[in-house]
Amino acid sequence: MTPAERREKLLALAQQCETTGRPDRNLDTEIYEALGFTVRRKPTLLAGPRTPPGGIYQQGALWKAIGKISAEIDVAVSVLRQKAPDWNWSLHSIVAEEQSFEALVAGSSGQGALASLALCAALLKAFAARGGKITES
């Protein structure tokens, strides 16, 4: 994937985070892939009760279940700290007709219906602003 294609993919995922109203396991998998993790998606056939929802990702020599990054703020913060440990970030609640959240990561802002979605959108935009270069974990 070229840097321009990677940047477009990151921005498309950020937009999806901002426009969706709820978490999505497919979105979780897409975010992990876009952030440079080696991902194995959940098989559609022959999936057993112990098959992790969404799939698994590789961290070092270990394979772990993909976290609910679009649903759980602690997972989103953990991935942010892992992929961009030196970046400043903040998260704010916006009270309007519908409650929403706004996040700022390294100068890039994102909004979402959930705090985790706003943080993911801002993180994806921040990497896109840096030409799509993702640090290896």
For 58-99, write each residue's pLDDT tens digit: 777 888 888 899 999 999 999 999 999 999 999 999 887 677
Structural domains in the chain? 3-129 (3.30.2120.10)
For 4-14, write each residue's pLDDT tens digit: 899 999 999 99
Q: Are 115 and 129 in contact (CB under 8 A)?
A: no
For 10-69, write each residue's pLDDT tens digit: 999 999 999 998 998 889 999 999 998 888 876 655 555 665 566 777 777 888 888 899
Query: pTM for the whole thing?
Result: 0.86
Q: Is the four-CA dihedral 60, 62, 66, 71 of positive or negative sign?
A: negative
Backbone φ and ψ for 101, nearest 5 degrees, come out as -130, 150
